[in-house]
Amino acid sequence: MTVGFVILSHRPGDQLSRLIAVLDREYSKPPIVCHHDFGQAPLDTSQFGSNVRFVEPHLSTRWGKFTLVEAVLAGIELLYRDADPDWFFLLSAQDFPVMSGRRVMAALEELSCDALIDLRPLDPGAKPGGEITGPESEVVSFYSDVWNRSMKRRFYLSPQYWLPKLRLRPLRIGRVTYRPDREGSHPYGPGFQCFYGDMWFGANRRAAEVLIRPSEKHRALKRHLRNRTFSDETYWHTVLANAPGLRLCRDHRRFARWAGNTGPEALGERDLDAIFASNAFFARKFEADSPVLDRIEKRLASSDRPLRDGPETSTADA
């Protein structure tokens, strides 16, 4: 079993260095591809080992924008071109492993699915191309509430109009986006439904091939999402959910503590018991200097810690 990683980074490199160091220890210097936005923060890439590659040239990434999708896809393509791991996981530099690599790989060996990805159909009852198993993730259960579903419909299905607006800092003419509450032209339809969910996921080689070898429908989806917000919360969800023959597990094995819909809060000492009881592989997000990371590393290094019995994510029914 080989596991690789694609990491998104845009801050100064201390936190990225620590994440890669612990991945190197837990997974015996796995193949890692990092997309670092050098336009937001400089980074000395020479500090990393030969198992770490960087996407070049980098993209200018912004929160919720399609450039994040492009950065991830470039990372996956480079990872499978050079290393071809059995599985890969998408992480940010603010993520951290909370289960030992030995235990993660043992769990992956027992899985009978192609991806661990939180997702749900935009239209309830929409049929996937393959099979979706397991309940929706409790960590991001709010994605399914009425407000979120309505917001996603506007972001993904409505037409978009841009109106001029005066911006003061600095003084300039900007724009505001208007999305009417109706459907416009979009690439979805029978056999290619819209799915969405949490951005962070893991997948095996079979699912990676679907992502890095786009069909015409996938290219049409890219064109549709290129100027839309939160495209990173729907692109691979839609592509993988509509792929015939794939089996997707909705337990994406991530731990986070969300403040409503505003984003995940920084994790600390108070979250340790919940983190280790969650059966998650990774948790997010952590501040760079958080002392809780020392506690987590010490626990990961404890070789005599017994395996925790968790739910069988490979056999849950949809």
pLDDT at 84 over 80: yes
Cα–Cα distance for residue pair 67/50, rounded to 1 Å: 26
Whether 87 is covered by a domain: the verdict is: yes
Whether 267 is covered by a domain: the verdict is: yes
pLDDT digits 0-9 by tens, 31-72: 999 999 999 999 999 999 999 999 999 999 988 889 999 999
Whether 138 is covered by a domain: the verdict is: yes
**The model's pTM:** 0.90
Phi-psi region of 311 (alpha: psi -120 to 50; beta: other; left: phi over 0): beta
User: What's the total number of domains in the chain?
Assistant: 1
10 Å CB burial of residue 206 (0-12, 13-18, 19+) is middle
230, HSE (Cβ side, Cα atoms, 13 Å): 20
Whether 237 is covered by a domain: the verdict is: yes
- Taking residues 62-84, what's their average pLDDT? 95
Best CA proximity match to 155, nearest among 164, 165, 143, 139: 143
Whether 180 is covered by a domain: the verdict is: no
Decide if 28 contacts 102 (C-beta within 8 A): no
**Across the chain, what does the average pLDDT equal?**
91
Please give the C-alpha separations between residue 241 and each of 5, 126, 129, 165, 238, in angstroms, as whole numbers. Answer: 21, 10, 6, 38, 5
CATH code of the domain covering residue 49:
3.90.550
- Taking residues 196-212, what's their average pLDDT? 97
pLDDT at position 138, please? 82
pLDDT at position 261, please? 66
Please give the C-alpha separations between residue 80 and each of 27, 83, 89, 114, 260, in angstroms, as whole numbers. Answer: 17, 5, 12, 16, 36
Whether 181 is covered by a domain: the verdict is: no
Instruction: Please state which of the ranges 191-205, 254-268, 277-291 shows the lowest mean pLDDT.
Output: 254-268
Determine the residue type at 174.
G
Bridge pairing between strands 282-283 and 96-97:
antiparallel
Tokens of 275: 């983190």
Whether 131 is covered by a domain: the verdict is: yes
Q: Which residue range is the domain that position 273 belongs to?
A: 3-147+188-300
pLDDT at 241 over 90: yes
Determine the residue type at 288.
A
Higher pLDDT, 239 or 181: 239
Whether 156 is covered by a domain: the verdict is: no
- Taking residues 76-93, what's their average pLDDT? 97
Instruction: Please state which of the ranges 142-151, 255-264, 266-275, 285-294 shows the lowest mean pLDDT.
Output: 255-264
Tokens of 285: 């997000």
Determine the residue type at 94.
Q
Determine the residue type at 42.
P
Instruction: Please state which of the ranges 67-71, 104-108, 158-162, 235-239 shows the lowest mean pLDDT.
Output: 158-162
Confidence class of residue 289 from pLDDT cuts 50, 70 and 90?
confident
| End-to-end Cα distance, the chain | 27
